[in-house]
Amino acid sequence: MMNKPKEMNELLLILIFSAVVLTMPIWLSPLGAAYPDLLQKFAIFGVFAIGYNILFGLTGYLSFGHAAFLGVGSYTAVWSFKLLSMNVLPAVMFSVVLAGLFAAVIGFVSLRRSGIYFSILTLAFAQMSYNLAYSVLTPITNGETGLQLAKEDPRILDSAVVDGLPSTNFFGIELQGFSGFYFCAAFLILGFIIALRIFRSPFGLKLRAIKTNQTRMRYTGFSTRPYLLTAFVISGMYAGLAGALMACTDPLAGAERMQWTASGEVVLMTILGGVGTLFGPLLGVGIIKYFENIFSAINEQALHAIFDFLPTWLEEFMVLITHPFVGEGWHLTLGLLFMLTVAFLPGGVMEGIDYIKKKMSSKDTDETEGTSTTKTAEEGSSS
Partner 1 sequence: MSNSKNGSSCSRRTVLKSGAAITAASTMPMFYVKDAWAAKDFRNNPGNASTVKFGFNVPQSGPYADEGADELRAYKLAVKHLNGEGDGGMLNTMKPLSLKGNGVLGKKVEYVTGDTQTKSDAARASAKRMIEKDRVVMYSGGSSSGVAIAQQSLAQEMGVIFMCGLTHSNDTTGKDKRRYGFRHFFNAYMSGVALGPVLEKEYGKERRAYHLTADYTWGWTQEESIKNTTEGLGWETVKTVKTPVGAGDFSQYITPVLNSGADVLILNHYGKDMINSLTQAIQFGLRDKQVNGKDFQIVVPLFSRLMAQGAGENIKGILGSTGWNWALSDAGSQAFVKSFGQEYGFPPSQAAHTCYVQTLLYANACEMAGTFYPPEVIKQLEDFEFDGMGNGKTLYRGADHQCFKDVLVVRGNQNPSSQFDLLEIVQEVPRSKFEYDPAIFGGELGPYEV
Partner 2 sequence: MFLYRNQNKNKCRDMDTILLQLLNGLDKGGAYALIALGLTLVFGTLGVVNFAHGALFMLGAFCAVSFNKLLTLSKKVKDESITFFDAYKEQPYLEIWLGDTGTTIIDWSVPLSILIAIPVMLLIGLAMERGLIRHFYKRSHAEQILFTFGLAIVLQEIVKSVFGANPIPTPAPDIVSGSANLGAALGLGDNLVYPWWRLIYLMFSAVIIAGVFAFLKLTTFGMVVRAGIHDKETVGLLGINIERRFTIVFGLAAVVSGLAGVMYVPVLPPDYHLGMDFLVLSFVVVVVGGMGSLEGAVAAGFLLGILQSFCSLNEIKAIIPGIDQIIIYLVAVVILLVKPRGLMGKKGVMED
Q: Where on the chain is the footprint of partner 2 (CB under 8 A)?
A: 56, 62, 109, 112-117, 120-121, 123-125, 127-128, 131-132, 134-137, 260-261, 264, 267-268, 271-272, 275, 324, 329, 331-332, 334-339, 341-343, 346
Q: Please name the helix (run of DSSP H) or strand (run of DSSP E) that holds residue 270, with its range, or none.
A: helix 260-273
Write down the least CB distance from residue 355 to partner 1, Å. 13
Question: Of the two residues 27 and 338, which places its CB atom closer to partner 1 in the complex?
Answer: 27
Shortest distance (Å) from residue 5 CB to partner 1: 17
When the beta carbons of 106 and 248 are compared against partner 2, the nearer one is: 106
Residue 18 contact partner, candidates partner 1, partner 2, none, CB within 5 to 8 A by sort of partner: partner 1
Which lies closer to partner 1 via its Cβ, residue 145 or residue 201? 145
Minimum distance, C-beta of residue 69 to partner 1, in the bound complex (Å) = 16
Taking the least distance from each CB to partner 1, the nearer of 114 and 167 is 167
The 10 Å Cβ neighbour count of residue 31 is: 11
Check: CB of residue 49 under 8 Å from CB of residue 67. no
Q: Which of 371, 50, 382, 66 is nearest to 184 (CA)?
A: 50
| 178/260 with CB nearer partner 2 | 260
Closer to partner 2 by CB, 32 or 346: give it: 346
Question: Choosing among partner 1, partner 2, none, which partner's interface includes residue 132 (Cβ < 5 to 8 Å by kind)?
Answer: partner 2
Q: How far is CA 103 from CA 99, 106, 214, 364, in A?
A: 6, 5, 22, 48
Task: State how far the Cα of 279 lies from the Cα of 12, in Å rounded to an integer.
Answer: 15
Q: Choose the contact partner of 291 out of partner 2, partner 1, none; CB within 5 to 8 A by kind.
A: none
Q: Which of 249, 265, 245 is nearest to 178 (CA)?
A: 249
Residues making contact with partner 1 (CB under 8 A): 12, 15-16, 18-19, 22-23, 25-26, 32, 35-38, 41, 131, 134-135, 138, 143-146, 148, 151, 163-165, 167, 173-174, 176-179, 182, 250, 252, 254, 256-257, 293, 296-297, 299, 328, 356, 360, 364, 366-368, 371-372, 375-376, 379
Contact by Cβ (8 Å): 311, 338 = no
178 binds, among partner 2, partner 1, none (CB under 5 to 8 A by kind): partner 1
Which segments of the chain are extended strands (E)? 147-148, 169-170, 173-174, 252-253
Rank residues 114 and 179 by Cβ distance to partner 2 and give the closer one: 114
Query: Least distance in Å: CB of 61 to partner 2?
Result: 11
- Computed over its alpha carbons, how large is the radius of gyration of the chain? 22
Which does residue 295 bind out of partner 1, partner 2, none, counting CB within 5 to 8 angstroms by kind? Answer: none
Question: How many residues belong to the chain?
Answer: 383
Q: Is 118 exposed, middle or buried (0-12, 13-18, 19+ CB in 10 A)?
A: buried
CB of 229 to partner 2, least distance (A): 16
Q: Give me the least distance between CB of 117 and partner 2, in Å please.
A: 6
At residue 49, the 3 state secondary structure works out as helix
Specify whether the CB–CB gap between 59 and 211 falls below 8 A.
yes
Pick 46 or 254: Cβ nearer partner 1: 254
What residue 120 binds from partner 1, partner 2, none (CB within 5 to 8 A, per partner kind)? partner 2
Cα–Cα distance for residue pair 267/284, rounded to 1 Å: 10
Residue 129 to residue 104: CA distance in whole angstroms: 15
Shortest CA distance to 90 belongs to which of 238, 246, 255, 248?
Answer: 248
Amino acid found at 83: L
Task: Tell me if residue 132 falls in helix, strand or coil.
Answer: helix
